[in-house]
Amino acid sequence: MASIVKKTGLNRFVGRILPRRHWVQAGFLLVWLGPLGLRMHNVCGPVFHCYACPLASFACPIGVMAQFSALHVIPFLAIGTVLTVGALFGSLICGWVCPFGLLQDMGAKVPIKKLRIPAWAGYFRYVVLIGTVFAVPWFFGEGHPLFVCRICPAGALEKAMPDVISQAVTGKEIIWPNAVKITIVIVMVVAMFITIRPWCRILCPLGAIFGLLNRFSILSMRLEDHKCTACKRCRTLCVYGLTPDKKPNDDNCLRCLECTRCGPGALAVTTVFASPSEKQETTPQPVEP
């Protein structure tokens, strides 16, 4: 049965674009995969995309942070880029923009029963961030096996594997990546099929920063208590097993915005500047039950 909900302009836009999220992600590949052969590696992109990838347009901010940490230099550009983008959008970047997120989303399309990742596993991302991006490079240098780039699945999938395939296709001698990289690729590929966004939810250091900024970002999620009927449909809609009705700006939320499809329209995308009058702006709109 159709119900009447109140929606702001921003939410109408979200409602229209939501069913096409994967197309938006795919569209952003035109930015990250440098179709014009632009390799602007002196600029950090705001997404998790290995700069060793032959098509990468920008430098990976996490790789740059780790390399700078190994040099004992503060990476102002990388931190500034991540902070600016994170403070504007939070983890909306993870849900809608990141190419490695899209890759995992495509893997999750394989119709296999998915394993549930507990929400607390998300805190492991901070361990990865502090450990492999800052502490290990700072104290042991970039040669340490726990240096983030050495264990990064993006590097393994976007550079090492394409290299092997290219060598095989062109008939050159195949230089196999080391056992660690091969293991990472296998584990990552399997994990992509059997669960949703395993890297983003358990290990991604960039996602950890964006997740932390969720509660402070200009773009934010709001639960309108007076509309919430406690039907818990938002929990069903959240494929990451979160509780948007309790914590709409959860650290572990990837802002796929699926929860905004809840029947009563209680969860809305808003900005910190939304005035009370804007919040009351109304447009009757039918919503699927």
Query: Going by DSSP bridges, is the β-strand pair 219-223/267-271 parallel, antiparallel, or unpaired?
Result: antiparallel
Secondary structure of residue 195 in the 3-state scheme:
coil
* Nearest C-alpha neighbor of 100 from the set 188, 168, 215, 223: 188
Q: Residue 287 Cβ, how far from other proteins at the closest point, in Å?
A: 27
* Strand residue runs (E) in the chain: 3-5, 40-44, 58-59, 219-223, 267-271, 285-287
Q: Which is nearer to other proteins, 156 or 204 (CB)?
A: 156
Alpha-carbon torsion angle 207, 213, 219, 224, nearest 10? 100
**The residue to which tokens 């970047």 are assigned:** 93
Q: Residue 150 Cβ, how far from other proteins at the closest point, in Å?
A: 5
Q: Residue 204 Cβ, how far from other proteins at the closest point, in Å?
A: 18
Secondary structure of residue 142 in the 3-state scheme:
coil
Q: Residue 231 Cβ, how far from other proteins at the closest point, in Å?
A: 27
Q: Residue 144 Cβ, how far from other proteins at the closest point, in Å?
A: 11
Q: Which is nearer to other proteins, 187 or 272 (CB)?
A: 272
Q: Residue 229 Cβ, how far from other proteins at the closest point, in Å?
A: 25
Q: Residue 179 Cβ, how far from other proteins at the closest point, in Å?
A: 15
Q: Which is nearer to other proteins, 196 or 204 (CB)?
A: 204
**28 CA to centre of own chain:** 13
Q: Which is nearer to other proteins, 14 or 55 (CB)?
A: 55
- Give the single-character DSSP code of 200: I
Q: Which is nearer to other proteins, 80 or 284 (CB)?
A: 80
Q: Residue 241 Cβ, how far from other proteins at the closest point, in Å?
A: 27
Q: Which is nearer to other proteins, 33 or 88 (CB)?
A: 88
Q: Which is nearer to other proteins, 132 or 195 (CB)?
A: 132
Query: Going by DSSP bridges, is the β-strand pair 40-44/58-59 parallel, antiparallel, or unpaired?
Result: parallel
**The residue to which tokens 């650290």 are assigned:** 251
**277 CA to centre of own chain:** 32
Q: Which helix (H) or strand (E) holds 155?
A: helix 153-155
Q: Which residues bind other proteins (CB under 8 A)?
A: 41-44, 51-52, 54, 59-60, 63-64, 67-68, 70-88, 141-142, 147, 149-150, 155, 159, 213, 216-218, 272-273
Gap between the Cα atoms of 10 and 262, Å rounded: 16
Q: Which is nearer to other proteins, 79 or 119 (CB)?
A: 79
Gap between the Cα atoms of 189 and 263, Å rounded: 35
- Give the single-character DSSP code of 172: P
